[in-house]
Structure 1
């Protein structure tokens, strides 16, 4: 999906450049810029600050796990839980997340006609942690019990980069550019092993392994690539909207815990990728009386010769970062003639939810109408429809949290999928100069959300090692709970707020860079699975075993959904 996201955004940015360049050559009713074709005003040093968000696309995968306190044939922990005997084991999971990001930057530009070349560095702060509970590592051998005292976390803090830039002036005040170079990010992983006898108690002081908590941190080198739009608002002041992708590869850690009778070792790989959206303002040092700067100053001070009023139709490309979670609210099992069993009763240290953050490429047609109420202020109404289909899953259980449906196997899974979003919004804009509009926007929003609960249907004997016999008994094996797959969907309503900047290329063609936050509240779902009687394993080496199931399992869960959207667009204004 990351490769598709990069390809989509690269193509979209390329189309924006081509469309903008072509639009700049079209005839217009009123030219927007009276100065020479290339105004030498972009060269020199600049310093700025950006505000936006960073969406992490990260994962942790366990390569090996050993425990020398176990019998020799079971010291490989994956063998001990039947992973090598046919049980479909979990070896890792995603640790995606989104955080607000502040990014000071500085650089130098060289202008050659319509071309601007540059070198830039930035240092950003975005503190983001994603934690999974119930396991000291995201793999089947460690997924025992449902205690929050077992956890594994991945944290990213600062990132930095040094990049080259190459841009094209589609008009003397608007620059489209690409950028790429080396990048660094600070990453920290933490494994917490339970010290509670009420949980699995692997790290109970004096009895189990130590240390209970192990952290690893590093500054990881990678690369970043992206592009954006800059607009000269006034002489020496430059606004920007930028998207970048960064890939920091993967790196390995090995954690060792010791007990009186042996050691436990876990080796895992961490992979980190990020998507950043930044909206910034920079000051360019230079002589305010230089010919090019003076021309831009005269341009910025001139009254607008072209109105922003009228209907417009556009298309945007960008990213949508969802911040989603799902939590079990109630879970019970009722057998005919008996009282219902409440799975949540007495669950003081249980975890009930999981995170399902995703980042997806988003294509968003939009349509609207502007009313320019005076030379500086504008009111508008706009609607858009965004397509960004992405799913996030957790394996080892068919509902979120650690209470219901936990087998630790891949055949049990729970997933959330978001497909499309839409909004109808009001806009309030301020005409900073004849070709640049800064605006705020807000209104009603909708998003589709779908959850899928998939329950294991396998029933078979397992032989992990000589002398050891086990069985995989899926909760939804024919004869036990049914249905094995429950898919539910809804459209959530909420609100969205944000803002951006629009740049006129001509009287009719308008570029934009926009950020929006949306909150879609909480969706609630109920599921029922009924028992069908019994299921039987019959294997010559295993024997005969019958599993009975009489009653009904009822559960409800809540899905919480928010999103961050960054969009680059181009629109045609009808007049």
Structure 2
């Protein structure tokens, strides 16, 4: 009889524990919370624009600030302030390494960068007729479709120059090798076309001109602001 009563008590205890467990989990199974840590955001880097390859282009510019003090046998009757419009063509090639771009460019510009004056009995005139230049352009790509660059090169200028009056009769056309330096920026319109803006300074040094009695030193130089368009092959 005692054994029967003990079994009944054990059965009641087990039933009570089972009912308590069911009541505790009546809301459903709750999985354990696992701390996954901080997940770094994924940043996608835009590809650098493709600037490598050959190109050809056209330019339109305005030259200014071409100071040339005219001296005749120790006297200086005046100064030539050359300025004027010019247009050109260019052909070049570029190599690219990541964001750095470098390459040569051959260009030819012609126009009327000139000035004249009459003073102290003298008539003087100077005009840069054309410029043939070999430039090296070194650029850095900032916004994938925008590049800024430096310009350095050699140039061959053709100049008409004359000083007459008071017995002087100097009238000559000469060519002179000088240098060009500058800065520029270029923006891609699409895969083939781009537009440019540039500032350059051209200096052709000193050229001695004489009519046998009178002599002068021509010093052709000028600043040039240019806009242009390029087509990539």
Question: Structure 1 length normalisation: TM-score?
Answer: 0.32
**2:12 alignment counterpart:** none
Shift, 1:309, TM fit: 0.8
Kindly provide the CA deviation profile for residues 186-225 of structure 1, in whole angstroms up to 9, marking residues without a partner as x: xxxxxxxxxxxxxxxxxxxxxxxxxxxxxxxxxxxxxxxx
Shift of 1:485: 5.2
Higher-RCO chain (CA-CA 8 Å, sequence separation at least 6) = 2
Partner Cα distance (2:67, 2:159) in 1: 10
- 1:572 equivalent in alignment to 2:209: no
Matched, 1:385 2:108: yes
Is the Cα contact below 8 Å between 1:384 and 1:424 reproduced in 2?
yes
The reply to whether residue 321 of structure 1 matches residue 64 of structure 2 is yes
SS in 1 for 2:174: strand
Correspondence for 1:509 among 189, 193, 198: 193
Structure 1: gaps spanning 5 or more residues: 1-297, 331-343, 345-350, 398-405, 407-411, 456-474, 476-480, 529-553
Task: Please give the per-residue CA displacement for 1:19-54, whole angstroms capped at 9, x wherever unaligned.
Answer: xxxxxxxxxxxxxxxxxxxxxxxxxxxxxxxxxxxx
Partners of 1:322 and 1:525 in 2: CA distance: 22
Counterpart position of 1:558: 217
Does structure 2 retain, via aligned residues, the 8 Å contact 1:324–1:559? no
Report Cα offsets for 1:154-190 as digits up to 9, x if no partner.
Answer: xxxxxxxxxxxxxxxxxxxxxxxxxxxxxxxxxxxxx
Any stretches of 5+ residues in structure 2 without a counterpart? 1-42
Residue 356, structure 1, aligned to residue 80, structure 2: yes
Q: 1:501 to 1:396 in 2, by over 3 A?
A: closer
Instruction: Give secondary structure in 2 for the equivalent of 1:507.
Output: coil
Aligned with residue 52 of structure 2, among 281, 297, 309: 309
Q: Which one of 113, 116, 123 corresponds to residue 413 of structure 1? A: 123
- C-alpha distance in 2 between matches for 1:366 and 1:353: 39
Quick check: 1:325–1:353 contact (8 Å CA) kept in 2? no
CA distance in 2: counterparts of 1:385 and 1:322, whole angstroms: 20
- Offset of residue 371 of structure 1: 0.6
Q: Distance in 1 between matches of 2:89 and 2:219?
A: 26
Rg larger for = 2
C-alpha separation between the residues in 1 aligned to 2:71 and 2:62? 29
Change (3 A) 1:558 1:316: same
- Give the 5 Å matches for 1:217-232: none
Partner of residue 91, structure 2: 367
| Offset, 1:516 | 0.9
Compute the displacement of 1:375 (Å). Answer: 1.8
Aligned to 2:142: 432
- Distance in 2 between residues matched to 1:524 and 1:433, nearest whole Å: 48
CA contact (8 A) 2:83 2:222 kept: no
1:450 maps to what in 2? 160
1:394 to 117, 122, 135: 117
Taking a change above 3 Å as real, the CA distance of residues 561 and 390 of structure 1, as seen in their structure-2 partners, is closer
Equivalent pairs counted in the alignment come to 191
Distance 2:86 2:70 in 1: 27
1:352 Cα offset (Å): 2.1
- Tell me the residue number matched to 2:183: 499
Q: What residue is the counterpart of 1:523 in the other structure?
A: 207
**How far apart, CA to CA, are the structure 1 residues paired with 2:124 and 2:174?**
16
Contact 1:370/1:380 (<8 A) preserved: yes
1:441–1:499 Cα contact (<8 Å) kept: yes
Tell me what 2:26 maps to.
none
1:376 aligned partner:
99
Aligned match of 2:15:
none
